[in-house]
Structure 1
Amino acid sequence: MKEDIKAFVRGFDDNTWKEEIEKRLSLVEESNVRLLKENEDLWRENGQLKQDLKVLRESVDKCGTLRNKEIVKELSEHTVEDKETLFERSTIQNHEEMPSGRVQPVARIIHPDTYPVSAVAFYGYLSQKSAPNLPAHHLIIYDAVHINRGNGYNKGDGIFIAPVTGVYVFHFSLCITEGENYPWASLEIAVNGIALGSTYEEGLKPGEPGGYHCSSNLVISEVNSGDHVFIRTTSATRGAIISAAYGRTSFSGWLL
Structure 2
Amino acid sequence: MASLGIVLHASLICIVLLTFFSGTASRNIANEILQRLEMVEKLNFDLKKENSNLKLEMIDIKGELKDIVNEMKVWMKSRHSQGNNKMNESNSDLQKENIKIKLEMAELRDQMDNVVRENCEMKKKWNELDDILISVYIHLNKSKPEIQSGIMPEHRTPLSYQHVAENRKANSVRSVQRIVPPAPDVTEQPVAFYAYMDSYHTPGLPIHTTLIFDTVQLNDGHGYSKHDGVFIAPRTGVYVFHWTIQTEVHSWESIEIVVNGSPIGCAASDTLRINDYGTGSGLVATRVNTGDLVFLRTHESISGYLLSNHRLRSSFSGWLLYS
Q: TM bucket by the smaller chain?
A: 0.5 to 0.7
Which moved further from structure 2: 141-150 or 242-251?
Answer: 242-251
Q: What's the RMSD between the two structures over aligned residues?
A: 3.6
What TM-score, normalized by structure 1, do the two folds share? 0.61
1:55 is aligned to 2:143? yes
Write the distance in 2 (CA, Å) between the matches of 1:193 and 1:24.
29
Residue 115 of structure 1 contacts residue 149 of structure 1 at CA under 8 Å; is this kept in 2? no
Residue 203 of structure 1 contacts residue 212 of structure 1 at CA under 8 Å; is this kept in 2? yes
Write the distance in 2 (CA, Å) between the matches of 1:151 and 1:127.
20
Equivalenced residue count is: 190
Percent identity of the aligned residues? Answer: 38
1:157 is aligned to 2:213? no
Residue 191 of structure 1 contacts residue 228 of structure 1 at CA under 8 Å; is this kept in 2? yes
Write the distance in 2 (CA, Å) between the matches of 1:174 and 1:23.
36
Matched with 1:132 is 203
- SS of equivalent to 1:130: strand
Residue 152 of structure 1 contacts residue 162 of structure 1 at CA under 8 Å; is this kept in 2? yes
- SS of equivalent to 1:156: coil
Matched with 2:252 is 184
Shift of 1:183: 1.2
Shift of 1:204: 5.9
Between Structure 1 and Structure 2, the one with more strand by share is: 1
The aligned amino acid for 1:201 is S
- SS of equivalent to 1:127: coil
Structure 1: runs of 5+ lacking an equivalent:
1-5, 62-113
Write the distance in 2 (CA, Å) between the matches of 1:174 and 1:140.
10
Which moved further from structure 2: 153-162 or 116-125?
Answer: 116-125
Q: Classify 1:22/1:218 alpha carbon distance in 2 versus 1 (closer, same or farther; 3 Å).
A: closer
Structure 2: runs of 5+ lacking an equivalent:
1-95, 150-182
Write the distance in 2 (CA, Å) between the matches of 1:38 and 1:247.
32
Deviations 1:41-95 (A, max 9, x none): 552354144224313359947xxxxxxxxxxxxxxxxxxxxxxxxxxxxxxxxxx
Q: Classify 1:42/1:163 alpha carbon distance in 2 versus 1 (closer, same or farther; 3 Å).
A: same
**Of 240, 260, 263, which residue of structure 2 is paired with 1:169?**
240
Q: Classify 1:20/1:217 alpha carbon distance in 2 versus 1 (closer, same or farther; 3 Å).
A: closer
Residue 115 of structure 1 contacts residue 150 of structure 1 at CA under 8 Å; is this kept in 2? no
Q: Classify 1:148/1:203 alpha carbon distance in 2 versus 1 (closer, same or farther; 3 Å).
A: same
Matched with 2:264 is 196
Matched with 1:237 is 302
Matched with 2:35 is none
Residue 130 of structure 1 contacts residue 241 of structure 1 at CA under 8 Å; is this kept in 2? yes
The aligned amino acid for 2:207 is A
Matched with 1:222 is 287
Highest RCO, 1 vs 2 (Cα 8 Å, sep ≥ 6): 1
What TM-score, normalized by structure 2, do the two folds share? 0.49
Matched with 2:214 is 143
Q: Which of the pair has more CA radius of gyration?
A: 2
Write the distance in 2 (CA, Å) between the matches of 1:218 and 1:31.
32
Between Structure 1 and Structure 2, the one with more helix by share is: 2
